[in-house]
Amino acid sequence: MEQLKILLPKGRIYDNVVELFKGAGITITLPDRAYRPTVNQDDLEAKVMKPQNIGKLLEFGAHDVGFTGRDWVLETGADVEEIMDLGFDKVRIVAAVPKELGDSILESKRIVVATEYEKIAQSWLEEKAFDYLTVRTYGATEVFPPDDADMIIDNTSTGRTLIENGLRIVDTIMTSATCMFASKEAMKDPFKKKKILELKMLFEAVLDARDRVMLEMNVAKNKFDSLVQGLPSMRSPTVSPLFGDDGFAVKIAVKKSEVPNLLPKLKSLGATDILEYDLRKVLA
């Protein structure tokens, strides 16, 4: 059987990717200290690798689909096709310095920059016309200043770790999130391209469902028109008559952020027996 070969990211973003697969009905199980998970779909094969390596491994063609941050694809210069931005594990790549170090000092001397992102750092430093040397780090970049570096270029989600280490952000170089990438060779293969786009469709349905809930309610006949006119909806509400022809049952999918204001409005428009429940997938 022909298989789609998938690269999953080792580390903190692994769980979010696996949870997304689970929402799509695909179970991935990884034993302790293993790198080859079992998948409940015979046409999928998975392997766990460091996010930094995934872009280039896709480019080389031994794997078809991978999940990693857009920052690592840019850093490694991987020639791959982005299928979709999954929107989670958002980070900023920032330049940060000790809070007591002024901008004029940075501009007046050769600075030492500690970073895991050598390519991204070099591009930004040259654009800003700094005189610099870089030190390649392998984690814990924030501990280098002030003794071993004047500046760091690193990723951050909240900036809290930087503050705790006495650093201030001087610039945001780029933003990044976990994305789904495919090898260009895989996208030329009819079977693999079809499978990749099917996965994309499922993931979009899962992610869209996370942002929505289903509201179900009853309404009397004489209040039906005004209620329907006041409803937001993806397209139009689902309506069915109640037993005894006493009114209608109405269902709508709405964004979670709309619910706090919408529920009181529905009550005022005559809705009764309102139920709210989560969705698993939304295919518009």
What CATH number should be reported for the domain whose range is 212-278?
3.30.70.120
Q: How confident is the model at residue 263 (pLDDT cuts 50, 70, 90)?
A: very high
Cis peptide before 146 (omega within 30 of 0): yes
Cα separations (Å) of 151 from 28, 52, 86, 108, 128?
40, 22, 31, 14, 14
Instruction: Give the residue-averaged pLDDT of 137-166.
Output: 93
Per the listing, tokens 């949870």 go with 19
* Amino acid 133: pLDDT: 94
Average pLDDT of the chain?
Answer: 92
pLDDT of residue 106: 78
pLDDT at residue 283 in the model: 82
State residue 234's pLDDT score.
58
Does pLDDT of 31 surpass 90?
no
CATH superfamily ID and name for 4-88+177-209: Periplasmic binding protein-like II (3.40.190.10)
Q: Helix (H, G, I), strand (E, B), or coil: what is residue 109?
A: coil
pLDDT of the residue at 2: 87
Q: Cβ neighbours of residue 197 under 8 Å, at least 6 residues apart?
A: none
Helices 190-210 and 14-23 cross at an angle (nearest 10°) of 90
Q: Tell me if 91-175 shares its fold with 212-278.
A: no
**CA-CA distance, 227 to 250, in Å (whole number)?**
10
> Which CATH architecture is the domain 91-175 placed in?
3-Layer(aba) Sandwich (3.40)
Q: What is the pLDDT of residue 209?
A: 92
Q: What is the pLDDT of residue 233?
A: 64
What span, in angstroms and rounded, lies between the C-alpha atoms of 231 and 64? 43
Residue 156 has pLDDT above 90, yes or no: yes
Look at residue 19 and tell me whether its pLDDT is greater than 90.
yes
**Model-level pTM?**
0.86
Domain ranges across the chain: 4-88+177-209, 91-175, 212-278
The token duo for 6 is 């998938």
Q: What is the DSSP string of the chain?
A: ---EEEEEEPSTTHHHHHHHHHHTT--EE--TT-SS-EES-TTEEEEEE-HHHHHHHHHHTS-SEEEEEHHHHHHHT---EEEEE---S-EEEEEEEETT--HHHHHTS-EEEEES-HHHHHHHHHHTT--EEEEE-SS-GGGSTTTT-SEEEEEESSSHHHHHTTEEEEEEEEEE-EEEEE-TTGGGSHHHHHHHHHHHHHHHHHHHHHTEEEEEEEEEGGGHHHHHHT---SS--EEEEPGGGSEEEEEEEEEGGGHHHHHHHHHHTT-EEEEEEE-S----
pLDDT tens profile 217-260: 999 999 999 998 888 765 678 899 998 888 999 999 899 999 99
- For the beta carbon of residue 211, count every other beta carbon within 10 angstroms: 13
Q: What is the pLDDT of residues 101-135, one digit of tens each?
A: 887 777 778 999 999 999 999 999 999 999 999 99
Q: Higher-confidence residue: 63 or 105?
A: 63
- pLDDT band (50, 70, 90) for residue 208: very high
In this prediction, residues 138-161 reach a mean pLDDT of 92
- % of the chain with per-residue pLDDT over 90: 82
The whole-angstrom separation of Cα 42 and Cα 280 is: 23
pLDDT of residue 104: 77
